[in-house]
């Protein structure tokens, strides 16, 4: 972002296209993942296992059920609240309050991309 003005920053994030909003829905990695992937953070995806670091549900872990890029929220399986009519609704979490404990390796492209990045980092170090 170019401007320092909060209103312009809010406007820019609100009008940001979905493929760029993915950046906003990223979370820190656990120490084990950080060592193996040679990265500090990753975009949260459906199927990843996350741990809640802040708020009422701190310390709980679960699998990501849904990622809403428009609202910038992450929904975790089995963490729901009851509405007045009795139906259960998943609780939305901000990705910055989460830590990725396990990544979903079902997407082969994602795994290959990470492995390629790790190789490039190792080559730069040598």
Does any domain span residue 1? no
In a domain, 51, yes or no: yes
Predicted pLDDT at 1: 66
If one counts the domains in the chain, the total is 1
- Give Cα separations from 19 to 34, 43, 68, 124, 126 (angstroms): 24, 11, 12, 28, 34
- Domain carrying residue 39: 6-125
| Residues 101, 103: Cα–Cα separation, whole Å | 7
Q: List the pLDDT tens digit at each of the 126 positions of the chain.
A: 689 999 999 999 889 998 999 889 999 999 999 998 888 999 999 999 999 999 999 999 999 999 999 999 999 999 999 999 999 999 999 999 999 999 988 888 887 887 888 888 778 777
CATH code, 101: 2.30.30.30
pLDDT of the residue at 107: 84
- Three-class DSSP category at 27: strand
Neighbours of 66 (CB within 10 A): 12
């Amino acid at each position: 972002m170019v401007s320092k003005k909060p209103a312009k920053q809010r406007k820019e994030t609100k009008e940001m296209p979905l493929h760029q909003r993915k950046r906003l829905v990223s979370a820190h990695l656990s120490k084990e993942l950080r060592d193996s992937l040679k990265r500090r953070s990753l975009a949260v995806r459906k199927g990843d296992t996350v741990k809640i670091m802040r708020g009422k549900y701190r310390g709980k872990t679960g699998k990501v059920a849904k990622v809403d890029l428009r609202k910038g929220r992450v929904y975790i399986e089995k963490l729901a609240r009851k509405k007045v009519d009795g139906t259960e609704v998943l609780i939305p979490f901000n990705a910055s309050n989460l830590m990725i404990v396990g990544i979903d390796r079902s997407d082969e492209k994602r795994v290959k991309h990470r492995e390629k990045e790790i190789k490039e980092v190792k080559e730069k170090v040598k």
